[in-house]
Amino acid sequence: MLQVPYIRQNKELVLEKLAVKHFKETHLVDEILALDDKRKKLTLEYDDTQAQVNSLSKEIGKLMAQGKKEDGEAMRAKVNELKEHLAPVNEALNATEKELLDTLVKLPNLPSPLVPPGKTPEENVEVKQHGDIPALYEGAVPHWDLAKKYDLIDFELGNKITGSGFPVYKNKGARLQRAMIQYFLDYNINAGYMEYAPPYLVNETSAFGTGQLPDKEGQMYHATEDNFYLIPTAEVPVTNIYRDEILKDTELPIRMTAYTPCFRREAGSYGKDVRGLNRVHQFDKVELVQLAHPEKSYEALDEMVAHVESLLQSLQLPYRILRLCGGDMSFTSALTYDFEVYSAAQQKWLEVSSVSNFESYQSNRMKIRFKEANGKPQLVHTLNGSSLALPRIMACILENNQTAEGIHIPAVLQAYFGAGKIQ
């Protein structure tokens, strides 16, 4: 969430930037400032009255110790009077603080100046395209057919065990999946990221911290008995590792990577691009998370983009990089680059990675801060990106690398996979 003092000092700029995101409820800005004024006023009243209570209470203690009971009793009556006045003030203050927070989380993050102004996915800006679109042989088919032909993935079996969108990987399909996870993690570790294996269920506080709660609650699976949420991405548990911590500036940047399954209800997205691996409820992903100094977070973003790019290049997949426009960006992001790989058999681009800078939007929720020598604590910037989401990479490798003699495995994966081909 945004910081109130920032909103106060830059109100016009905030409104301009909200417009880039096509955010309509701009009245919230004034509401926030009004609530903050109210909060300050009530705080002042509460603090002053409580200060009187505190000092009188101390005197009562002294009087009682000296045996001056009557004076003490008189003062006690006075304190009780003050406290009667205090109760409604305190109540109003708590209610105002809650309302302020509730309103504040309704404001999205502000877009960086680099964000294009568009509204729809068509208006995203292609920053780069790399690699040749492969010309497939005549018998080429989409990955769901290949999965059957080579016995790699069983979609129907997933229906039986759980429901739609829970594919079962088997044989070489399972092994290829595992090979990719291993390769991606190794690749990230070599680039200086520390590996974590975090929990796949998180509590409410963690889900709030990265911005999944309160507004995206319907997208997560909820284990109601214990009030835990199944993670929609490793971003949630990994970023929360440093929740409520104050780091030293010398510890930044912090680079973390984690493999986890991801669980997404995908409510409301039925019927669109759901065939095969294109959209599933459970999938595997290797994630990158960085905590960076505010002045260096855009360098970190570029570094992550370059990192994901080199990873895709090593897999020899044709890809393009999009800079998302204001209307297509996520609520919490300040700048996002999407990576898409080209699926030759489906003849379309599939998103496989999304790399974003959240600036201090998440860290303000999580209170992840750092301190320079003799300085005050300030918020870090958080970033994350996929490296990579597995299903669509799998789909593209199967489709783009299919030949009459089998499916060619990218050279960098062969050692992990244990063969050069699926036949």
Partner RNA sequence: GGUGAGGUGCCUGAGUGGCCGAAAGGAACGGUUUGCUAAACCGUCGUACGGGUUAAACUGUACCGAGGGUUCGAAUCCCUCCCUCACCGCCA
Residues in the site for RNA, rule: CB under 7 A? 4, 36, 39-40, 43-44, 46-48, 50-51, 53-58, 60-61, 64-65, 76, 79-80, 83, 94, 246, 369, 371, 373, 376-377
Q: Give the dihedral of Cα atoms 375, 288, 418, 279; nearest 10 deg.
A: 170
Q: Using the minimum distance from each CB to RNA, give the nearer residue, 290 or 364.
A: 364
Residue length of the chain: 423
The pair of three-digit structure tokens given for residue 274, joined into one six-digit string: 């759901």
Residue closer to RNA, measured from CB, 24 or 376: 376
For residue 83, the minimal CB distance to RNA (Å) is 6
DSSP per-residue letters across 54-66: HHHHHHHHHHHHT
Measured from the CB atom, the residue of 58 and 272 that comes closer to RNA is 58
The minimum distance between CB 90 and RNA, in angstroms, equals 9
Structure tokens at 162: 């759980």
- Closest approach, Cβ 51 to RNA, in A, equals 3
The C-alpha atoms of residue 282 and residue 263 are separated, in whole angstroms, by 5
Comparing CB distances to RNA, the nearer of 11 and 265 is 11
Handedness of CA 389, 394, 399, 401 (dihedral sign): positive
**Torsion angle, CA of 215/216/218/221, rounded to 10 degrees?**
-130
Taking the complex as a whole, how short is the minimal distance between the CB of residue 204 and RNA, in angstroms?
A: 11
Query: Cβ closer to RNA: 299 or 372?
Result: 372
Q: Please state, in angstroms and rounded to a whole number, the distance separating the CA atoms of residues 387 and 357.
A: 15
Distance CA 328, CA 330 (A): 7
- Percent helix, strand and coil across the chain, each rounded to 5? 45, 20, 35
In angstroms, the CA 196 to CA 239 distance is 11
Least distance between RNA and beta carbon 54 (Å): 4
Q: Minimum Å distance from CB 375 to RNA? A: 9
Kindly state the smallest distance separating residue 65's Cβ from RNA, in Å: 7
Q: What is the DSSP letter of 340?
A: E
Answer for the pair 8, 33: CB distance below 8 angstroms, yes or no: yes
